[in-house]
C-alpha cells in the first residue's frame, strides 16, 4: 500500500494512534485460529494486511470505507480474531478494520434485548446482563475474548444452544446496522428475517456497526460432571437429559475416553478410562441430576455452583471448540469436524464411523436445539489427521451416511455450512459491496460470478 494512504486515513479519523503500520502488530491482527486446521495452516500462512485501522463509530467506518472504495483498497473486519476457519485473515492485503474499540454496551432494554456496538466482548455482555436478571441465550466457548460482532459475523452457537438453538434461530439477533462499501457508504438497518442477509457472512457484505441481541432470563446454574464406564451409556444418559423438557440446562456435552485425559487442569475430575458428560443444569435440579446419573451407573466426580465466568473449574472451557484446543495441546495431529448427527439413527451412524475409521475419530457430542425446536446430537468430533485426502474421505463418508458436516477446513463462506441456500448473503454482497472489496476471496460465488461477468461483458446484478 502506498504510504500516502496511511497519512490520509490518519487525517480522516484524526487520531494517528488508531492507524497502525507496525508490521508486527499488523501481522498479529491479521491472524485468527486458522491453524486449527492442518489444511488451512498451509493455505493461509503468511497472509497479512498492510495497515490496521481502529474506528470508534459508524461514522468513522463510513469515512474509512468511502476512502478505501475510492482507492480500491480491500478491507477485512476483525472482532477478536478467535474464528477458526481463517475468516478474519486478509487474503489480499489492504486494511484490517479492528473493531475492538467499538465496545459500547448502550443499553439492556426492559424486554431483554441488548443494544451494543460490535466490539463488546460476549463475556462483558453476559456479566452486565446477569446483573439485571438476563443472560446470553447462547455463546461460544471463547466467550471471554470473542466479540458480539465477530460472533454474528463468523460464529454459530455454543453453550446455551441446547435450550435456545443456534445464534441464527428463534430471532436471537433482533436487528443490526451495517455499513456498506460504496462511494458514499450508508448505514443500513436490518430487522427480523433481513438479519440473515448479513449473519455469518464473514464481513464480506458489510460491516456490522450496531446490534440488537435478544437475551433470556438469568438462571442460577450448577456445573456437574458424570462419569460412565462406557461411551454408549454416557451418550444414552446425556440424550435423556438433553431431550427431557423437564430439565433446565445450558450445556450437555459428552466426551468418550481418552478425550478427558487431554484436559490437564481438571484431570482430578477425569477418572481413567471413563466417558464423561459435562452439564450446566439449573441449581434447583442439580441434586436430582446427580441422583439420576448414579441410578444410571455413573459416578459424579464434580458438582458445584456456577459463579459466572470466574468459576473454577469453568466446564465450558473444555467444551465446544475448546475440546479441540486441549487435544491439539496433547498431540498436534488432532484436528476436528463440525457435524450434525441424525437424532433417530445417531447410534448406527456412530457405529459405522467407528467401524470404518477406528480411533481416527473420537466422539465429542454437543446437544443443541435445531430451528424446528428438536434437540439433536451436534458434534465436534476429534480427527487424527494424516492426509487431506483421508480427511476428505471421512467428510464424504459422513455425508454418505446422513451426517451433516460444516467443513471447517475450507476458507470460504459457502463451504463452511452456514451459508444460506437462498443466497441471501450473496445478494446482499451485490447490493452493499458491488466491487468485492470486503474480505475479498471469502465469498467465492461472488468472485466467480464477477469473473464470468468480466469475460462475457455482462453486468452482474
Contact between 418 and 406 under an 8 Å Cβ cutoff? The reply is yes
Give the C-alpha separation, 454 to 449, whole Å: 9
Q: How far is the CB of 143 from ligand FAD (least distance, A)?
A: 8
Give the C-alpha separation, 325 to 331, whole Å: 10
Contact between 102 and 116 under an 8 Å Cβ cutoff? The reply is no
- Quick one: 115 or 296, whose CB is closer to ligand FAD? 115
Q: How far is the CB of 395 from ligand FAD (least distance, A)?
A: 19
Q: How far is the CB of 3 from ligand FAD (least distance, A)?
A: 25
Give the C-alpha separation, 37 to 25, whole Å: 23
Residues binding ligand FAD (CB under 6 A): 32-33, 76-84, 87-88, 99, 118, 140-142, 146-147, 149-151, 153-158, 202-203, 207-208, 320-322, 325, 439
Contact between 60 and 99 under an 8 Å Cβ cutoff? The reply is no
- Quick one: 88 or 303, whose CB is closer to ligand FAD? 88
Q: Regarding beta strands 105-108 and 113-116, do their DSSP bridges make them parallel or antiparallel, or are they unpaired?
A: antiparallel
- Quick one: 35 or 302, whose CB is closer to ligand FAD? 35
DSSP per-residue letters across 173-187 = EEEEEEE--SSS--E
- Quick one: 62 or 80, whose CB is closer to ligand FAD? 80
The count of C-alpha atoms lying within 13 angstroms of the C-alpha of 201, restricted to the half-sphere facing its C-beta, is 28
CA-based nearest residue to 275, from 309, 323, 225, 314: 225
- Cell numbers 471471554: residue: 144
Measuring CA to CA, how many Å separate 443 from each of 84, 88, 413, 449, 450? 16, 13, 5, 10, 11
Q: How far is the CB of 161 from ligand FAD (least distance, A)?
A: 8
DSSP per-residue letters across 156-211 = ---BTHHHH--TTSTT-EEEEEEE--SSS--EEEEEGGGGGGTTTSTTSS-EEEEE
What are the helix and strand counts (H, E) for the chain?
Answer: 14, 21
Q: How far is the CB of 341 from ligand FAD (least distance, A)?
A: 17
- For residue 379, with 0-12 CB atoms within 10 Å meaning exposed, 13-18 middle and 19 or more buried, which class applies? buried
Q: How far is the CB of 414 from ligand FAD (least distance, A)?
A: 14
Question: In this chain, which residue has its C-beta nearest to ligand FAD?
Answer: 150
- Quick one: 126 or 290, whose CB is closer to ligand FAD? 126
Q: Is the backbone peptide bond immediately before 251 cis, with ω within 30 degrees of 0?
A: no
- Quick one: 45 or 396, whose CB is closer to ligand FAD? 45
DSSP structure class, residue 240: H
Q: How far is the CB of 205 from ligand FAD (least distance, A)?
A: 8
DSSP structure class, residue 169: S
Q: How far is the CB of 157 from ligand FAD (least distance, A)?
A: 5
CA-based nearest residue to 123, from 78, 79, 57: 79
- Quick one: 166 or 238, whose CB is closer to ligand FAD? 166
Q: How far is the CB of 156 from ligand FAD (least distance, A)?
A: 4
- Quick one: 19 or 146, whose CB is closer to ligand FAD? 146
Q: What count of residues does the chain have?
A: 461
Q: How far is the CB of 438 from ligand FAD (least distance, A)?
A: 8
Contact between 209 and 152 under an 8 Å Cβ cutoff? The reply is no
DSSP structure class, residue 34: G
- Quick one: 286 or 407, whose CB is closer to ligand FAD? 407
Q: How far is the CB of 435 from ligand FAD (least distance, A)?
A: 17
- 363: which 3 cell numbers? 466422539
For residue 51, give the 3-state DSSP assignment: strand
- Quick one: 74 or 157, whose CB is closer to ligand FAD? 157
- Quick one: 306 or 320, whose CB is closer to ligand FAD? 320
Amino acid at each position: 500500500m502506498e504510504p500516502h494512504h496511511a497519512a490520509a486515513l490518519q487525517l480522516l479519523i484524526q487520531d494517528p494512534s488508531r492507524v497502525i503500520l507496525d508490521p508486527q502488530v499488523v501481522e498479529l491482527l491479521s491472524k485468527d485460529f486458522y491453524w486449527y486446521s492442518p489444511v488451512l495452516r498451509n493455505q493461509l500462512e503468511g497472509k497479512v494486511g498492510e495497515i490496521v485501522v481502529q474506528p470508534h463509530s459508524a461514522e468513522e467506518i463510513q469515512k474509512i470505507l468511502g476512502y478505501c472504495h475510492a482507492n480500491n483498497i480491500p478491507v477485512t473486519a476483525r472482532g477478536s480474531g478467535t474464528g477458526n476457519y481463517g475468516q478474519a485473515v486478509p487474503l489480499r492485503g489492504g486494511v484490517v478494520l479492528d473493531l475492538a474499540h467499538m465496545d459500547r454496551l448502550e443499553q439492556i432494554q426492559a424486554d431483554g434485548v441488548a443494544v451494543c456496538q460490535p466490539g463488546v466482548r460476549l463475556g462483558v455482555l453476559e456479566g452486565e446482563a446477569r446483573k439485571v436478571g438476563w443472560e446470553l441465550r447462547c455463546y461460544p466457548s471463547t466467550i471471554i475474548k470473542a466479540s458480539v460482532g465477530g460472533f454474528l459475523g463468523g460464529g454459530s452457537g455454543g453453550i446455551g444452544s441446547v435450550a435456545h438453538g443456534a445464534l441464527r434461530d428463534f430471532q436471537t439477533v433482533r436487528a443490526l446496522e451495517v455499513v456498506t462499501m460504496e462511494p458514499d457508504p450508508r448505514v443500513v438497518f436490518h430487522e427480523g428475517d433481513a438479519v440473515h442477509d448479513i449473519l455469518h457472512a464473514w464481513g464480506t457484505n458489510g460491516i456490522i456497526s450496531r446490534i440488537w441481541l435478544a437475551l433470556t432470563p438469568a438462571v442460577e446454574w450448577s456445573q456437574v460432571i458424570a462419569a460412565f464406564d462406557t461411551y454408549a451409556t454416557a451418550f444414552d444418559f446425556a440424550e435423556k437429559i438433553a431431550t427431557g423438557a423437564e430439565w433446565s440446562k445450558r450445556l450437555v456435552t459428552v466426551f468418550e475416553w481418552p478425550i478427558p485425559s487431554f484436559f490437564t487442569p481438571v484431570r482430578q475430575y477425569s477418572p481413567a478410562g471413563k466417558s464423561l458428560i459435562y452439564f450446566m443444569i439449573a441449581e434447583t435440579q442439580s441434586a436430582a441430576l446427580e441422583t439420576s446419573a448414579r441410578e444410571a451407573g455413573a459416578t459424579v466426580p464434580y458438582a458445584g455452583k456456577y459463579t459466572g465466568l470466574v468459576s473454577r473449574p469453568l466446564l465450558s472451557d473444555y467444551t465446544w471448540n475448546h475440546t479441540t484446543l486441549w487435544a491439539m495441546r496433547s498431540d498436534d495431529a488432532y484436528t476436528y469436524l463440525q457435524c450434525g448427527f441424525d437424532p433417530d439413527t445417531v447410534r448406527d451412524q456412530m457405529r459405522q464411523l467407528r467401524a470404518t475409521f477406528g480411533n481416527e475419530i473420537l466422539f465429542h457430542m454437543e446437544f443443541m436445539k435445531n430451528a424446528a425446536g428438536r434437540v439433536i446430537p451436534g458434534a465436534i468430533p476429534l480427527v487424527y489427521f494424516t492426509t487431506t485426502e483421508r480427511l476428505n474421505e471421512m467428510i464424504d463418508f459422513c455425508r454418505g451416511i446422513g451426517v451433516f458436516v460444516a467443513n471447517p477446513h475450507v476458507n470460504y463462506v459457502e463451504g463452511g455450512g452456514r451459508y444460506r441456500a437462498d443466497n441471501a448473503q450473496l445478494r446482499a454482497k451485490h447490493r452493499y459491496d458491488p466491487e468485492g472489496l470486503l474480505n475479498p476471496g471469502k465469498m467465492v460465488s461472488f468472485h466467480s460470478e464477477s469473473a464470468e461477468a468480466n469475460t462475457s461483458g455482462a453486468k452482474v446484478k
